[in-house]
Amino acid sequence: MRIEPIGYIVLLLGALSVVYGARFAIRTFCLSTLFGAAAALQLPSFGGGSIQPGHLMVLFLVATALLRPIETQAALLSIAYPSPGFWFAVYILFSAVSAFFLPRIFAGATLVYSSARDISGTMSTVASPLSPGSSNFTQAVYILGDLACFAVIGGLARLGHSHSIARTLILTAMACLGIALLDVGTFLTGQSHLLDFIRNANYTMHTAETISGFKRIVGSFPEASSYGSAALAFFSFTLLLWLERFPSRLVGLATASIGITIALCTSTTAYIAGLFVLLILVLFSLKRLLGGRATAPYSTFLVVALFIVPCTVVTLMLIPNAWDSVTDLISITFADKLQSQSGEERTAWNTLALISFIETATFGAGLGTVRSSSFIAALLSNVGLVGTALFAVFLYSLLTAGRRHISSSQQDRAIGIAAVFSSIAQIASATISGSSTDLGLLFSITAGLATGCLADPNGVPRHATGSCVSPHALEASPMLTAR
């Protein structure tokens, strides 16, 4: 194992998180999820694998909660029945068990595309007979980390940290924007090597690609689709907070700025998922408006989405040079995508994944066994019909959590709704181009936040006096901080 320079920074921040408590841990952990192309630890003895800063920070986030009993209790409550966290936990545990048993039960029963490392340590995707592999173990570890993250964030939201988490996500969105600007700036000036210290993971990096003269924005991620998916998650979250008039001066700026980078990132995934999310947001806004519960920003959003944007498109059509650039970009990112080598490969992955689903009698080949290019295909081929059904139950429970319980705070409810929309955006992105069933740590943060904010208020841990635990009192407790 080799610790990279950024790894030492993560270890230091992780240790400080344990000492200073939840608020510091939330900030450092959320920011660490941005570094999708970075490796905090290199593992040469495990085929050249890399551990990202976010996954390393999960350990410190969990340790921070375990050293404070009230946070541990709240984390366990966030995955207790009948909350959405319960179904998420069942889905995760079923997936982890499938990683051990199913590849052995159905060994040789079908051909699968799986990720493997060649002699040089570079990742490649090859078709081979179904068999157990190291990816079964690594994927199980990753999703168990997702569950731990979900539980801790959900528990902290129950304890009154929801506003702190929301503000941290807004700050993270601004940091994502800042790194995207550095990515473009260093590319245009020929200084891309300045960002090599956050692009040191053992992945294939697509950091210098252009389409029709547009630099593909990757930020601190290995490719444009990864950046677009993360940016869309932040955009959905901050946009809902702006619509709900969340008290933050940065929320409007973050929404507009990150939205512009999505439009310029040239990611097919971000474009298609973004159109879906905007459609859902328009319908949601219309429902609010017709129900008499819409704030002024909802009306502004509808005017922009339904009138200003179409008028802008018509105006561009009247400017030949501008319209030609736009149509070329659309043609390359949409029409020509399926005919490209990448598109043909991804279609082949999904086709063989669905064949594996049938040839394993709908049980699936086991978590981490099959690589695909769609979250739905990955669910069916890896964890089968049962795992897919469990995830569907979790998603339904998450979407309806706000109707089952009325939050004691209107702002908590707004944060919860924003977190739900951000989770939907991430599922939409993964459905288009996700290679595995792991939705990532950012999804666990938003889904856990939604669960905590929209939870039954009667389930919040309380003192013997019956009053809700104050997060300030929690962190100031000598007994807890001394542990």
The per-residue pLDDT for range 65-83, each reduced to its tens digit, is 999 999 999 999 999 998 9
Asked if residue 474 has pLDDT above 50, the reply is no
Rounded (10°) angle between helices 320-330 and 309-317: 110
pLDDT at 162: 93
Segment 32-46 mean pLDDT = 85
pLDDT at 480: 38
Asked if residue 465 has pLDDT above 70, the reply is no
pLDDT at 181: 94
Asked if residue 471 has pLDDT above 60, the reply is no
Segment 174-194 mean pLDDT = 92
The per-residue pLDDT for range 228-260, each reduced to its tens digit, is 999 999 999 999 999 999 988 899 999 999 999
Eight-class DSSP state of 295 = -
Model's pTM, two decimal places? 0.89
217 vs 199: CA distance, rounded Å: 14
Q: Which residues pair with 354 in a beta bridge?
A: none
pLDDT at 481: 39
Lowest mean pLDDT among 322-326, 446-450, 468-472: 468-472
Asked if residue 221 has pLDDT above 80, the reply is yes
Peptide bond into 247 cis (omega under 30): no
pLDDT at 174: 95
pLDDT at 320: 76
Asked if residue 482 has pLDDT above 60, the reply is no
Percentage, residues of the chain above pLDDT 90: 55
More confident residue, 48 or 70: 70
**Structure confidence at residue 469 as a pLDDT band (50, 70, 90):** very low
Percentage, residues of the chain above pLDDT 70: 87
Domain assignment present for residue 252? The answer is yes
More confident residue, 470 or 210: 210
Place of tokens 């689709």: 225
423 vs 2: CA distance, rounded Å: 34
pLDDT at 457: 60
Q: Which tokens sit at 41?
A: 């630890």
pLDDT at 202: 80
Asked if residue 477 has pLDDT above 70, the reply is no
More confident residue, 112 or 326: 112
Domain assignment present for residue 381? The answer is yes
Domain assignment present for residue 215? The answer is yes
Domain assignment present for residue 37? The answer is no
Domain assignment present for residue 31? The answer is no
Segment 61-67 mean pLDDT = 94
Domain assignment present for residue 27? The answer is no
Asked if 300 and 243 count as a contact pair (C-beta separation under 8 A), the reply is: no
Domain assignment present for residue 122? The answer is yes
pLDDT at 135: 85
- What is the total count of domains within the chain? 1
pLDDT at 108: 87
pLDDT at 317: 80
Q: Encode burial over 286-307: b for 16+ CB neighbours within 10 A, e otherwise.
A: eebeeeeebeebbeebbeeeee
The per-residue pLDDT for range 390-445, each reduced to its tens digit, is 999 999 999 998 776 555 578 899 999 999 999 999 999 999 988 889 999 999 99
Asked if residue 112 has pLDDT above 60, the reply is yes
Peptide bond into 82 cis (omega under 30): yes
200 vs 304: CA distance, rounded Å: 41
Give the closest residue to 61 by CA, choosing from 437, 441, 417: 441
Domain assignment present for residue 140? The answer is yes
pLDDT at 401: 85
- Phi, psi (rounded to 5 degrees) for 209: -85, 150
Q: Is 394 exposed, middle or buried (0-12, 13-18, 19+ CB in 10 A)?
A: buried
Identity of the highest mean pLDDT range in 214-218, 272-276, 287-291 = 272-276
Asked if 228 and 429 count as a contact pair (C-beta separation under 8 A), the reply is: yes
Segment 196-207 mean pLDDT = 83
The per-residue pLDDT for range 306-343, each reduced to its tens digit, is 898 888 888 878 887 777 777 776 776 666 666 666 66
Q: Where are the alpha helices (DSSP H) in 318-466?
A: 320-330, 341-359, 375-399, 401-404, 410-433, 441-453
Q: Where are the alpha helices (DSSP H) in 67-161?
A: 69-78, 84-105, 134-156
pLDDT at 408: 58
pLDDT at 328: 72
pLDDT at 266: 84
pLDDT at 335: 61
**Structure confidence at residue 473 as a pLDDT band (50, 70, 90):** very low
pLDDT at 119: 45
What is the span of the domain harbouring residue 257?
A: 67-462+469-481
pLDDT at 183: 93
Asked if residue 296 has pLDDT above 80, the reply is yes
